[in-house]
Amino acid sequence: MELISFVMLVMCVLLGLPIVWLLYMSRSPKEMEGIPGSLGWPIVGESFSFISDFSSPSGIFNFMNTRQQRFGKVFKSFVLGRFTVFMTGREASKILLTGKDGLVSLNLFYTGQQVLGPTSLLQTSGEAHKRLRRLIAEPLSVDGLKKYFHFINTQAKETLNQWSGRKVLALEEASTFTLKVIGHMIMSLEPTGEEQEKFRSNFKIISSSFASLPFKIPGTAFHRGIQARDRMYAMLDSTISRRRSGEDFQQDFLESLIMKHTKGAADKEDSENKLTDKQLKDNILTLLVAGHDTTTAALTWLMKFLEENPTVLEQLREEHMQIIANRKDGTDLTWSEVNNMPYTAKVISETLRRATILPWFSRKASQDFELDGFRVKKGWSLNLDVVSIHHDPEVFPDPYKFDPSRFDALLKPFSFLGFGSGPRMCPGMNLAKIEICVFIHHLVIRYKWKPLEKDDSVQPTLVRMPKNKYPIMVEPL
């Protein structure tokens, strides 16, 4: 369906024939006639409104909320080349995220599918997904992350050492920190140098291409993303070649995958665990994307919310000052301390709730089922609106207030989706928490900061980030 949609879309643009699109629109699923909503303008549907609303202060919630008020909790639209049904609520969350009885599968937009590749963890399902997730889970487990703790701690301190008494773009600094961490963990990339700069440059282009219109035409964000992806894969090919020839050996995630891929045993179990080079590269890129953008955004929003809520900041600072007071003189932050920051954990959760960094989760119906009185048909694209779930006043009273105490007690299931839920819950959750805890520890015990601009707009990307990159003036305490 999506491939046909794009072919027709390109024909309309090239031939200037809206009638072509109108004819195609008549071929949209007849079953959708029972779903309220609008498919928008010829050719582009509601894509421009969808992308534009990313940049509004409330982000994609503006797109969702105006249509929910008009059509209800379930509505249809046509965005980025796809007929889509948007849903919200805890019941929809439960069905779409658990994938119970194989009702749904993951469903990236076409641009994401093309950039990440068909063998990415984010595009596989069933046994293939379980196998890839097992390979990824080990180095990202709490125990697997211990060996990277010193590097994470060192990079956080070195990043913050440069902040005193100067203007800082918090988003850029957080991005540099998280990319150095994930690059080191995955492929032992040095934190500075020409290789790191090429890596960062290509990665930024890839990251910005995910919410672009699906036109692979020179000069478009999508085309630039594909080109940057190919350059990134060339870098990986070179690294993999050196590793296999014995020129370079590192105890990192890439090395473990290469060893798994090149085992000589021919038994069935070993064969099933092997990865092709394509699978290896697709999933390295997937981990880089998943391990960078969301944590970068979380760190930036956390700094913004802390500055806007001085009482919360003071209580957080007290927790971290107490950690220092309990240490022996001259010792640094330890692994056990990072795993014992109860108030910090609540602040992180509240940040993820308020910011809702991933504003929706996209799925595809694998079979017919019913939800909220509507009949969902196999093959439909389904988007779960997470912003509305995180701001439901019945679950979170005064939902726009930043209040970490909400997490003093257990919440209702599927009401908080900061790291997703179900079999596709974020595999990098432990890494993200450790990075944030380490960074915030060194930040709050050393500095105070003030924003240089008052702008709540967000970038037009799939991961919600402040559009102005949150410029701040930093001073020592």
Q: Is 230 a domain residue? A: no
Q: Is 11 a domain residue? A: yes
Do 376 and 365 contact (CB within 8 A), yes or no?
yes
Cα separation values, 101 from 105, 122, 124, 178, 368, Å: 11, 19, 17, 36, 12
Q: What is the dihedral of CA 136, 142, 145, 149, to 10 degrees?
A: 160
Q: Is 256 a domain residue? A: no
Q: Closest by alpha carbon to 99, among 460, 364, 453?
A: 364
Tell me the two tokens of residue 107: 């469903």
What CATH number has the domain bearing residue 92? 3.30.43.20
**CA–CA distance, 173 with 169 (Å, rounded to integer):** 6
Instruction: Identify the helix (H) or strand (E) that includes residue 105.
Output: strand 104-106
Per-residue DSSP letter, 328: P
**CA–CA distance, 193 with 49 (Å, rounded to integer):** 41
Annotation: binding site for heme: 426
Q: Is 88 a domain residue? A: yes
Q: Is 98 a domain residue? A: yes
Q: What is the pTM of this model?
A: 0.85
Cα separation values, 277 from 129, 234, 339, 340, 374, Å: 17, 12, 36, 40, 43
Tell me the two tokens of residue 266: 């021919």
Give CA 104 to chain center in angstroms. Answer: 20
Do 419 and 428 contact (CB within 8 A), yes or no?
no
- 69-85 burial, b for 16+ CB within 10 Å, e for fewer? eebebbbbbbbbbbbbb
Per-residue DSSP letter, 327: S
Tell me the two tokens of residue 12: 């309309």
Residue 169 φ/ψ, nearest 5 degrees: -90, 100
Residue 79 φ/ψ, nearest 5 degrees: -135, 140
Q: Is 38 a domain residue? A: yes
Q: Is 71 a domain residue? A: yes
Number of domains in the chain: 1
Place of tokens 């993820």: 352
Give CA 452 to chain center in angstroms. Answer: 27
- End-to-end alpha-carbon separation of the chain, Å? 58
Encode the chain (477 residues) as per-residue pLDDT tens digits.
444 444 444 444 444 444 444 444 444 556 677 788 888 887 778 888 887 776 666 667 788 888 988 998 889 888 877 788 888 888 888 888 887 657 787 777 667 777 777 777 777 777 777 777 777 777 777 887 898 999 999 999 999 999 999 999 999 999 999 989 988 888 888 878 888 888 888 888 887 777 666 677 888 888 898 898 899 889 888 888 888 888 777 888 888 777 765 544 444 455 556 777 888 888 888 888 777 888 999 999 999 999 999 999 999 999 999 999 998 776 799 999 999 999 999 999 999 999 998 888 888 888 888 877 888 888 888 888 898 899 999 999 999 999 999 999 988 888 999 988 877 777 788 899 999 999 999 999 999 999 999 888 887 677 888 889 999 999 999
- Tell me the residue range of the domain where 394 lies: 2-124+360-399
H-only helix segments in 188-331: 194-207, 221-245, 253-261, 268-272, 277-290, 293-308, 310-325
Annotation: binding site: 426
Q: Is 335 a domain residue? A: no
